[in-house]
């Protein structure tokens, strides 16, 4: 998660709201769950794919 | 040497939602290709989904219009763009862009915009009630599509709603390629003066709104007025055209209306993809960039055809079909990269509330002219309809 790159578009929250959230103050990405359950993986993969600024990276996809 | 084309224009008759046919052919042949600009510049045209994403995500491409060449000639435009005023961050690069965007993103989060749903619902109901009272026919653009987003963005900023007609008139002029440069400059000046006064008013007497809060940052009055100008300009015409053109698309695909009701979130994404109202953008290479086996030289303009990318069969199967049950995530209708639309969560809330409510209130809603005769705004930056005359049965 790279909060410096993040532009706060909110695409990750739309893709998987149980894993990603946005900071109330500056709108940048917050990781709610660093090790999402298997059934969340598709949403997390989508979040990484659609992120406009390349701020979301998957480890061991 | 590649064969160099000029920018295709002209939408297929009878199919107003489809991009120019030649554009699709160019994309399928070569998703990134040389393009001859009207001023003689030889630059590039990106039409493939992957190529577009690559350019928009790459910081070596600039959004500054004074560096750019434009793919279509503009009336009364002598080819020189003035430098962008401070605060117009849609046309600025990092790090200037970063500073402005950083002050705003916290105000446009998914959660904050969803909290506005209840207010969007109220405003929608007010306008549906007014339509019903005056019914049983109206112009959907002025009765419904324009006022809802106008009211929301004006409330968010703290601009008086009484000035809505003023805003609508002036944003329409900017987005109208056929307007003379003189009329555009007049509109620009009137709009700018109004917003400058508004900023001074908020500084003197802050109220509970975005613009007042921004007066507490280190932005100057000029920057504040320009940020307000950008938000209003980008927030009025866009969503209004999505609502009106989206309704027209549903008229011509009536089997899809049930899907809109069943899953409005999914339906709205697909309407965004299919209609691609912000159809074209430009970027300028600041350095030599190798992409897709081509060398884009520093100084060359790349025209970005968001509408061609959204119909790329490599990304979306059967792309020319409107299918509201499709998972359209990854569409380019809000752009990509650091400039991806700041107001997209607001726009989503407005569309997912307004569109289903319209068909729920008036199940017999239909156009009073054949869909192919609805006057389109096609030769402009934002696609849409000029008017959408509709009627419905009174029970
Ligand atoms: C369906 C409606 C909308 C569409 C299709 C749309 C489309 C776009 C697109 C394609 C961009 C990227 C431009 C670029 O890369 O040069 C953009 C940027 C922007 N949009 Fe929207 N937009 C919509 C609604 C809104 C609303 C409601 C607002 C106002 C709150 C808004 C404010 C902005 C701003 C401020 C930017 C510049 C962001 C930046 O440079 O960081 N838009 N929009």
Angle among Cα B38, B334, B74 to the nearest 5 degrees reads 20
**B286 domain-assigned:** yes
% of chain A residues with pLDDT over 70: 97
Integer Cα distance of B157 and B338 in angstroms: 22
**B15 domain-assigned:** no
Q: How far is CA B200 from CA B172, B192, B194, B205, in A?
A: 25, 13, 10, 9
Looking at the whole model, is its pTM more than 0.90? yes
Contact of B114 with A22, CB cutoff 8 Å: no
Name residues of chain A where pLDDT drops below 50: 61
How many domains does the structure of chain B reveal?
A: 1
Q: Of the candidates A7, A10, A25, which has its C-beta nearest B110's C-beta?
A: A10
Angle among Cα A29, A10, B100 to the nearest 5 degrees reads 80
For ligand 1, the distance from its centroid to the CA atom of residue B22, given in whole angstroms, is 27
pLDDT at B19 over 50: yes
Q: Which residue range is the domain that position A24 belongs to? A: 1-61
The DSSP code for B141 is: I
CA dihedral angle for residue B350, residue B355, residue B361, residue B366, rounded to 10 degrees: 140
Taking only the tens place, the pLDDT of each residue in B170-205 is: 766 765 656 777 887 888 788 788 889 999 999 999
B-chain residues within 8 Å CB-CB of A11? 340
Integer Cα distance of B93 and B129 in angstroms: 45
B-chain residues within 8 Å CB-CB of A52? 56-57, 335-338, 340
Q: How far is CA B103 from CA A2, B56, B243, B350, B351, in A?
A: 18, 22, 29, 23, 25
A28 reaches B (C-beta below 8 A): yes
Integer Cα distance of B111 and B128 in angstroms: 26
**B331 domain-assigned:** yes
The ipTM value here is 0.92
Q: Residue A61's pLDDT is what?
A: 47
Q: What is the mean pLDDT of residues B362-366?
A: 97
Q: Which residues touch B331 (CB under 8 Å, ≥6 apart)?
A: B269, B272, B273, B276, B310, B316
Q: Of the candidates A7, A14, A46, which has its C-beta nearest B110's C-beta?
A: A14
Integer Cα distance of B52 and B49 in angstroms: 5
A-chain residues within 8 Å CB-CB of B334? 9
- CATH number, domain at A21? 3.30.70.20
- Are A24 and B106 within 8 A, CB to CB? yes
Q: Residue B10's pLDDT is what?
A: 78
Q: What is the mean pLDDT of residues B241-254?
A: 96
Q: Residue B154's pLDDT is what?
A: 82
Which among B247, B237, B246 is positioned nearest to B391, based on CA atoms?
Answer: B247
Q: Residue B56's pLDDT is what?
A: 98
How many domains does the structure of chain A reveal?
A: 1
**B12 domain-assigned:** no
Whether the CB of B239 sits within 6 Å of ligand 1: yes
Whether the CB of B346 sits within 6 Å of ligand 1: yes
Q: What is the mean pLDDT of residues B223-228?
A: 94
**B13 domain-assigned:** no
Which of the pair, B69 or B158, is modelled with greater confidence? B69
Q: Which residue range is the domain that position B83 belongs to? A: 21-391
Q: Of the candidates B57, B330, B340, which has its C-beta nearest A9's C-beta?
A: B340
For ligand 1, the distance from its centroid to the CA atom of residue B335, given in whole angstroms, is 8
- CATH number, domain at B317? 1.10.630.10
């Amino acid at each position: 998660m790279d909060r410096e790159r993040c532009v706060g578009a909110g695409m990750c929250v739309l893709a998987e709201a149980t894993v990603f959230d946005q900071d109330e103050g500056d709108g940048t990405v917050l990781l709610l769950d660093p090790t999402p359950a298997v059934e969340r993986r598709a949403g997390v993969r989508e979040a990484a794919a659609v992120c406009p600024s390349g701020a979301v990276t998957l480890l061991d996809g | 040497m590649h064969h160099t084309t000029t920018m295709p224009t002209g939408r297929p008759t009878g199919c107003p939602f489809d991009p120019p046919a030649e554009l699709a052919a160019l994309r399928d042949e070569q998703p990134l290709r040389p393009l001859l600009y009207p001023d003689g510049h030889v630059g590039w045209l990106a039409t493939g989904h992957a190529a577009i994403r690559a350019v928009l995500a790459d910081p070596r491409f600039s959004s500054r219009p004074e560096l750019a060449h434009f793919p279509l000639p503009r009336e009364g435009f002598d080819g020189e763009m003035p430098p962008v005023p401070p605060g117009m961050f849609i046309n600025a690069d990092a790090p200037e862009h970063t500073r402005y965007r950083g002050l705003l993103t916290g105000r446009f989060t998914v959660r904050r915009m969803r909290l506005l749903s209840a207010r969007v619902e109220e405003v929608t109901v007010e306008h549906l009630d007014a339509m019903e009272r005056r019914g049983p026919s109206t112009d959907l653009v002025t009765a419904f599509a324009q006022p809802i987003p106008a009211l929301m963005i004006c409330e968010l900023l703290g601009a008086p709603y009484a000035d809505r007609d003023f805003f609508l008139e002036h944003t329409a002029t900017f987005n109208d390629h056929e307007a003379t440069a003189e009329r555009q400059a007049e509109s620009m000046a009137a709009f700018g003066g109004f917003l400058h006064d508004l900023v001074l008013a908020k500084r003197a007497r802050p109220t509970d709104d975005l613009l007042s809060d921004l007066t507490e940052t280190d932005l100057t009055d000029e920057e504040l007025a320009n940020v307000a100008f950008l938000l209003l300009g980008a927030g009025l015409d866009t969503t209004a055209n999505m609502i009106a053109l989206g309704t027209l698309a549903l008229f011509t695909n009536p089997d899809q209306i049930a899907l809109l009701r069943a899953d409005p979130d999914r339906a709205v994404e697909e309407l965004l993809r299919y209609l691609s109202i912000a159809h074209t953008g430009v970027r300028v290479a600041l350095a030599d960039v190798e992409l897709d086996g081509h060398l884009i030289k520093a100084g060359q303009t790349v025209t970005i055809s968001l509408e061609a990318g959204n119909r790329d069969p490599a990304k979306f199967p059967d792309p020319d079909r409107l299918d509201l049950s499709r998972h359209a995530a990854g569409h380019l209708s809000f752009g990509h990269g650091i400039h991806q639309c700041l107001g997209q969560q607001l726009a989503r809330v407005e569309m997912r509330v307004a569109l289903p409510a319209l068909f729920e209130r008036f199940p017999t809603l239909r156009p009073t002219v054949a869909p192919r005769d609805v006057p389109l705004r096609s030769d402009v930056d934002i696609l849409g309809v000029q008017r959408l005359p509709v009627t419905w049965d009174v029970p």
